[in-house]
Amino acid sequence: MTEAATSDLEPQSVISDEIAALHARAGGDATQPRVDFPPYRSSVLRHPTKDLHHADPEGVELVAPVFGHSDVDPLEADLTIQAGGDPVGERMVVTGRILDGAGRPVRHQLVEIWQANAAGRYVHKKDQHPAPLDPHFTGVGRCLTDGDGGYRFTTIKPGPYPWRNHHNAWRPAHIHFSLFGTDFTQRMITQMYFPGDPLFALDPIYQSITEQDARDRLVAAYDHDLTTHEWATGYRWDIVLTGSHATPLEGEGDDRG
Amino acid sequence: MDERLPATPGQTIGPFFHDALPYARGHELVPPGAPGAIRLHGSVYDGGGEPLPDALLEIRQADATGRAPRVEGSLRRDGGVFTGWGRAATDPGGRYSFTTVEPGPVGDGAAFFAVTVFARGLLNRLFTRAYLPGPAAEADAWLAGLDPARRRTLLIEREDDGSLRFDVHLQGEQETVFLSFPEHRP
């Protein structure tokens, strides 16, 4: 991409100044991103301006969809074996537990991930980044949590990639996670990041969470005990969903699946 | 009671979810042509009235008798099982479509589809409800508590061809009512 092609984009300094101003004005209880966060330019027309309306969950909202072994093949948790050869990059294991707001494990539930390859390129047809595709990497995985809420993926560490939010904008390396709880109100999609990424301070998506403690909850921890000799590095990331509104049904417990 | 763990923040679904989340027949909660099959469809709009070609909707619903299914099989829809959950991405024109059945009411409330909205540019998911129009919706206490102009954004329209239309406006004069549940508190 030439300089001329990007000259209509604002510099990082404009975005960084806006982020700093919004953080200075923000309250201290922001556990979730602000959906109204103009430094992420695509958000400007895509967020509600009216307050969310309070509702007590009813009926189906108290019951998450159920997934099982007929839905997910265990091999889908290994993103390094899906395309007929070894993908290029740093092989790694990402594992952790999914808990609800009361600390209870979310058992036998679906976890979906997607990510760029080691060069920072998605297979997606709209990804124009001139970095190589890897014929041995689709960047898509699924698994079911175990009886303790645990999930585990084997994959390749994704690279950072450029986008056109502003001039010379780069996303910190991340893996997208799609998560379900035990009731429908716990549904969420988020992104897992890697410790110490130098792009954190510059990224308006990560910085849309105005509290540092909350941002830190999106960062996995390197875990040398997960790292395996001459094979793969290991990262640990636990996820906490919002609380469940439903009373657990009698007889529902560890024995399913 | 209040020893709760702080929730992990959400983030936008981004632009590159199409190879990961949509799947074959994800939007077909029942096969087209099945007894009672209807289409629930609509568009997702931004605050400028432009349709979103990169949004994803999920619905959760009761079956025709008002029961919320707790059965697996949503990702491989080959068993003829009604799971009450579906997923549809918007097309390049911003349109989505599900094939399903009309949900029956659960308990005393009016029947609705629970809806979750994700999109590039939307930093966290949104929840809403698509209510079947009719006397039950008119009598629903929660709906009655909404400003009438805003209540309309939650009511499905029946089209002449029998399909159900539900548009989502993320912003603007017709902005959809989006929901916060008690456990979503910070």
Q: Which residues, including other chains, have CB under 8 Å from residue A33's CB and lie 6 or more apart?
A: A205, A208, A209, B9, B10, B11, B123, B124
Query: How high does pLDDT run on average in chain A?
Result: 93
pLDDT of residue A252: 47
> Which member of A40, A54, A241 has the closest CB to residue B123?
A40
Contact B45/B158 with Cβ under 8 angstroms? no
Q: Do A32 and B10 touch (CB under 8 A)?
A: yes
Is A217 close to B18, i.e. CB distance below 8 A? Answer: no
Among B66, B76, B124, the residue with its CB nearest the CB of A71 is B76
| Lowest-confidence segment of A63-77, A218-232, B13-27, B73-87 by average pLDDT | B73-87
Label residue A23 left, alpha or beta by phi (over 0 means left) and psi (-120 to 50 means alpha).
Answer: alpha
pLDDT of residue B144: 95
Verify whether the Cβ–Cβ distance A58 to B109 is below 8 Å.
yes
Q: Picking from A8-17, A176-185, A247-256, which range would have the lowest pLDDT averaged per residue?
A: A247-256
| Separation CA B6–CA A242 (nearest Å) | 8
B4 vs A240, residue with greater confidence: A240
What was the pLDDT predicted at A62?
94
Residue A246's pLDDT band (cuts 50, 70, 90): confident
pLDDT at A79 over 70: yes
Residues in chain A with CB shorter than 8 Å from the CB of B114 are 60-61, 184
Please provide residue A103's backbone torsions phi and psi, each rounded to the nearest 5 degrees.
85, 10
pTM: 0.95
Please give the residue of chain B at the shortest CA–CA distance from A212: B9
Residues of A in contact with B91 (CB under 8 A): none
For A127, the closest of B16, B60, B186 (CB atoms) is B16
- Sheet harboring A140-144: ordered strands across? A140-144, A110-115, A174-179, A188-193
At A90-120, the pLDDT tens digits run 999 999 999 999 999 999 999 999 999 999 9
CB contact under 8 A, A184 and B76: no
Q: A181 pLDDT exceeds 60?
A: yes
B183 closest CB neighbour out of A58, A59, A244: A244
Q: What are phi and psi of B165, to 5 degrees?
A: -115, 130
Among A72, A124, A243, select the one facing B18 at the smallest CB separation: A124
DSSP letter assigned to residue A76 = G
If residue B168 lies in a helix (H) or strand (E), which one and from where to where?
strand B168-169
**Spatial distance between the Cα atoms of A144 and A68, rounded to a whole number of angstroms:** 7
Which residue from B89, B103, B108 is spatially nearest to B41, judged by alpha carbons?
Answer: B89
pLDDT for B106 equals 80
Contact at CB, A46 and B114, closer than 8 angstroms = no
Torsion on CA atoms B118, B51, B20, A92, rounded to nearest 10: -60
Any idea what DSSP says for residue B53? T
Q: In this predicted model, what pLDDT tens digit does every residue of A145-162 receive, in sequence order?
A: 999 999 999 999 999 999
Measured between beta carbons, the chain B residues lying within 8 angstroms of A62 are 68
Q: Which chain B residue lies closest to A141 (C-alpha atoms)?
A: B20
Q: Do A54 and B120 touch (CB under 8 A)?
A: no
Mean model confidence pLDDT for chain B: 95
Q: Which residues of A touch B146 (CB under 8 A)?
A: 53
Positions of A annotated as catalytic residues are 122, 161, 171, 174, 176
Residue A66: pLDDT over 60: yes
| Structure confidence at residue A46 (pLDDT) | 98
Q: Which residue has the tokens 């029961």?
A: B67
Percentage of residues in chain A having pLDDT higher than 70: 92
Best B153, B183, B185 residue to mutate vs chain A (most A CBs within 10 Å): B183
Residues of chain A with pLDDT > 90, as a percent, come to 88
The SS3 assignment for A24 reads helix
Size of interface A-B (CB pairs under 8 A): 250
**Mean pLDDT for each consecutive 10-residue tract of chain B (186 residues)?**
84 97 97 95 98 98 94 90 97 98 88 98 98 94 95 97 97 97 86
Host H or E run for residue A191: strand A188-193
ipTM of the complex: 0.97
Determine the residue among B2, B11, B117 to mutate to test chain A binding: the one whose Cβ has the most chain A Cβ atoms within 10 Å: B11
What DSSP letter does each residue of A51-74 carry, written as one string? Answer: PPEE----GGGGS-----TTT--G
